[in-house]
Structure 1
Amino acid sequence: MSQAAAIPEKGTPWLGGVMIFIFALTPLLGYAAQLGFAPLMALAGLLVLPIMGKPRAPAAPALMLLLLAVWAAVSMTWSPAAPPPGSLKDYGDIEKITAVKLFLQLALYGAAVAAALRLSGQAADRTATVMGFGVLALAVVVGVDALSGASIFQKLRVLTGDPIRPDLAKVKISIGCYVMAVLFWPAAAALARRGKQAGVVLLLAGVITTSVLSSADSCLVALAAGAAVWFLIKATGKIGGRVLTLIVAVPFVVAPIAVLWAIQTGFWGWLHDFVPPSWDARLNIWAFAADHIQDHPFRGWGLDASRTFGDAIPLHTHNAQLQLWLELGAVGAALVGAFFCWLAHGVTRAAETDRGAAAMSGAALTSYLVVGALSFGVWQEWWIAVGALAVIACIAVRRSSGGYSDEWVEISPVS
């Protein structure tokens, strides 16, 4: 099937406009309001739904996520975090439930991703251009502010009538590092394909500078891991993609077993003597989570159960794999692991025709998973939205290169 037959050039101006809109707002949200990525992606989904046509049977990745949402909802029947039935008085109360949010995110974020797969080459090119320069602008602004000790952010908060302490301001702008660590790869590819190599260097400098000055260690780890995968796939093609798939799968399978083994052998105790306080706290959380996973290894403790263990787990486990095992058991970990392995396998397929695009996608996937394994909770809406945004960015770059292939199975909306 030809590209023209699969995705007609005619009829995508609206879709392209929506994609340009979300990336035009990315610098602002990435710098000052990261939580805004969730409503932005939801809005994008709503804007494209009317012209997406009839819903199709869910493709493989959408089906995996649908099953995950169903299992998460079922787990609320035994979760200690389940709200009392009498407390759900209106839609606002229901909408706050994580299980409900998962269905909404799947429908809306999924629609936005599906829309990106229908972009014409011209619309994708414009989208990739706005995305590349937008992420570059974000890196420059955040990097300059990091050098100033977040003074710009503090002044902005004063102007809005909501002053903030200098230390908290540094933490706030550091969150933008994680957005940049994931979007760095498609942004760098977009800039490089437009002959803006100096922009790529400036982008990298901004990400590293901000990460170092704001002590965003996991961002640096994510960037380094992404770079390793980029070089691997760029050099070996499909072999690198297969290695990536294995690397993605292993943590979802062995995370709790690996932690328990490390504790029993004394390696965990040895690590405590060498890591800084923030990482020492992570080690304690991971050890507690791994121990409690043994109580319900198949079904887990239930959705959001991580929030019910008091000081032992502040809000979440700071590790996606352990949180999934703890809350949704082997079932949840397998479904999410299968989804990300599907994405990694897609990188392998892409390497057959465009190693550069495959390396970009593999690096972005790796950076996203590394950050998720060290910093944020699995169900944080804005972080899930950033993941969907990264998928759209990679699709836009690949579509603009003329390398579209039917191997990219469309993630159809399920509502």
Structure 2
Amino acid sequence: MAYGYTFAGLMLLWPLLALLGTQGFAPLVGLTGIAALILARPKWPPALYAVAFLIFIAWAAASEFWSPAARQIITGNLMEGTFAIGARSLIIVMTALFGVLTLAAAARTDMSPRAQALIWIAFALHGAIALASGFISGPFIEAVYGTEPQDTVAGIQNVNRNINAFGLVLPLVAAALAHRFGLKGTLAAAVLTALMVVAAIRVDTQAGVLCVAGMIGGFALAQVLPRNAYRALFGLAAAYVLFAPAVMMGLIRSLDGVSRSLPDSFQSRLWSWEAAIGHIREAPLLGHGLGASRTWRETFAAHPEKLAELAPNWAYYPVIPGHPHNMPLHLWAETGLVGALLAAAALVLLAIRLPAPSSLRADVRFAIAGVAGASFSLFSFAYSVWNEAFWAGLALIAAVLVLFARRAAKG
């Protein structure tokens, strides 16, 4: 109970951190992980899927040794205010460890109704802020971030991340409304989902729209496959990771005939994936090392045949803008076949470990499937595979699902 109240109290920070662009989710999972060590004493040894996941993280961290983007572990001076953690590997390892500790503690914790109510308050506030910022994004950004161009760009990015993060919360809210209030709740969930789509379109975050599509797909699979939906979801995810270069190249080739009619942003994304696959071929076994994609700064000016299909202002835009915006390809490019095998193994073991959906209460059953579907959409189109804010937020939502499932099982 102590950890349940502590976790719920910390989750009250969730809407504020989402409003600020979600970057604070990583420190938040650090706090929940530390609290887990003190209050919940997670079981040892960890589950097999967690061991496989940590081995993958260790491999990814080790790959920084041969990466052209490798940095010193710690830079700057704390007293002078220039202290920073330079090594991405350390950030990734710490986020993974705290996330695993949080989930392990949730699996041993009973949550009271009051603690559960605090989490619902946090998610309700997040929803209200995310949707409002989407519908009044112009005045909202000006009021919060000012009118300087660089501040406006940062504001737009934070609004987009905020809405995308609510895309991971929406499955819990929608499933709970439908379960608790029947037809009226289902209608309310549909209206909320429609508002999410409109807000995402208004701020031009296609990832937010695809998040909703993934959620609906997850819901449908849980309905059609009441015993094996989770195994299907995570098994497909494992196959996707393992065969990502072939899958994505097939997608690119299938769109050749219509590529000229696609928006410039989507066309450039296809070329980014194609370029990433080219880098994968250069180091297929071990990859180029953690963070290597940040050093691939070739612009469209070097590809006049591609630039001819884009607006002139794309000339100095990188073909791979920091990362490929597809996590499986990014994982392959930087950690190679070894990393893909380890990640796929962790997903397969997780699929085996998860209970049958039909054994869970309806709201929990559909929420898990919806969150999985929504996260797979973001996994494919949005963030860097090493984005600690995304993974920290997903770990916290997964911990909420575990806590809610335990609460539902006890009636």
TM-score, normalised by the number of residues in structure 1: 0.83
Please tell me the root mean square deviation across aligned C-alpha atoms, in Å. 2.8
Q: Distance in 2 between matches of 1:236 and 1:90?
A: 55
1:400 alignment counterpart: 407
Per the alignment, residue 205 of structure 2 pairs with 216
CA–CA distance in structure 2, aligned partners of residues 205 and 269 of structure 1: 32
Are the structure 2 counterparts of residues 135 and 54 from structure 1 closer, same or farther at C-alpha, using a change threshold of 3 Å? Answer: closer
Contact 1:178–1:219 (CA under 8 A) maintained in structure 2? yes
CA contact (8 A) 1:234 1:355 kept: no
Amino acid at match of 2:32: A
Task: Tell me which of 135, 142, 146 is aligned to 1:147.
Answer: 135
- C-alpha change, 1:127 and 1:287, in structure 2 (3 Å) is farther
Residue matched to 1:35? 23
Q: Does 2:165 align with 1:179?
A: yes
* Residues 385-394 or 238-247, more deviating: 238-247
C-alpha separation between the residues in 2 aligned to 1:246 and 1:110?
21
Deviation by residue 1:139-190 (Cα, 9 ceiling, x = unmatched): 22222232223413421334xx989765653442121111111111123334
Q: Tell me if the contact between 1:171 and 1:214 (Cα under 8 Å) persists in the aligned partners.
A: no
Cα distance in 1 for partners of 2:222, 2:250 equals 31
The SS at the match of 1:400 is helix
2:64 to 76, 83, 87: 76
The within-5 A match list for 1:13-28 is: 14-28=2-16
Correspondent of 1:297 among 281, 284, 287 = 284
2:168 maps to amino acid: V
Q: 1:268: Cα distance to partner?
A: 4.5
Q: How does 1:13-412 map to 2 (within 5 A)?
A: 14-53=2-41, 56-83=44-71, 95-122=85-112, 125-158=113-146, 169-195=155-181, 197=185, 200-201=189-190, 203-261=192-250, 266-310=253-297, 311-347=318-354, 349-354=356-361, 356-402=363-409
Contact 1:174 / 1:210 at 8 angstroms: preserved in 2?
no
Residues 22 and 42 of structure 1, relative CA distance in 2, 3 Å threshold? same
| Counterparts in 2 of 1:210 and 1:344: CA distance versus 1, 3 Å | farther
Instruction: Give distance in 1, aligned partners of 2:42 and 2:219.
Output: 37
Letter in 2 for 1:273: R
> Please, which runs of 5 or more residues in structure 1 have no aligned partner?
1-11, 405-415
Q: Give how far 1:305 is off.
A: 1.0
Identity of aligned residues (%): 23
**Aligned-partner Cα distance in 2 for 1:376–1:106:** 17
Return closer, same or farther for 1:336/1:150 CA change in 2, 3 Å cut-off.
farther
Kept in 1: contact 2:229–2:357 (CA 8 A) = no
Correspondence for 1:4: none
| Partner residue, 1:413 | none
In structure 2, distance between residues paired with 1:340 and 1:54: 21
CA–CA separation in structure 2 for the residues paired with 1:399 and 1:375: 32
Corresponding residue SS for 1:401: helix
Q: Give the gaps of 5 or more residues in structure 2.
A: 298-317
The amino acid across from 2:293 in the alignment is: S
Secondary structure of the 1:34 match is coil
Q: Is the 8 A contact 2:141 2:152 kept in 1?
A: no
What are the Cα deviations for residues 351-378 of structure 1, in whole angstroms up to 9, with x where unaligned?
3344542332122012112102101001
SS at 2:224's partner residue? helix
Instruction: Using the TM superposition, give the Cα deviation of residue 299 of structure 1 relative to its aligned residue in structure 2, in angstroms.
Output: 0.9
Question: Does the C-alpha gap of structure 1 residues 127 and 318 become closer, same or farther in structure 2, counting only changes over 3 Å?
Answer: farther
Shift of the 43–250 alpha-carbon distance from structure 1 to 2, 3 Å rule, reads same
Cα 1:206/1:15, change in 2 over 3 Å: farther
Query: Could you tell me which amino acid in structure 1 is paired with residue 406 of structure 2?
Result: R
1:167 and 1:75 map into 2 onto residues whose CA distance is: 32
SS in 2 for 1:210: helix
The amino acid across from 2:209 in the alignment is L
Q: Determine helix, strand or coil for the equivalent of 1:237.
A: coil
Task: Please tell me whether the aligned partners of residues 57 and 93 of structure 2 are also in contact (alpha carbons under 8 angstroms).
Answer: yes
- Do the aligned residues in 1 keep the contact of 2:238 with 2:343 (CA within 8 Å)? no
Spell out, residue by residue over 1:164-221, the C-alpha distance to the aligned partner (whole angstroms, 9 max, x if none): 7656534421211111111111233344455482763554244223112111112211
Distance 1:359 1:145, change over 3 A: closer
Distance 1:80 1:180, change over 3 A: same
TM-score between the two structures when normalised by the length of structure 2: 0.84
Q: Which amino acid aligns with 2:403?
A: A
Q: 125-134 or 361-370: which moved more?
A: 125-134
Count of aligned pairs between the two proteins: 385
Residue 321 of structure 1: CA displacement?
0.2
Residue in structure 1 matched with residue 300 of structure 2 by the alignment: none
Q: Is 1:44–1:112's contact at 8 Å kept on the other side of the alignment?
A: yes
What amino acid is aligned across from residue 217 of structure 2 in structure 1? A
Deviates more, 1:379-388 or 1:111-120: 111-120
Moved more, 35-44 or 198-207: 198-207
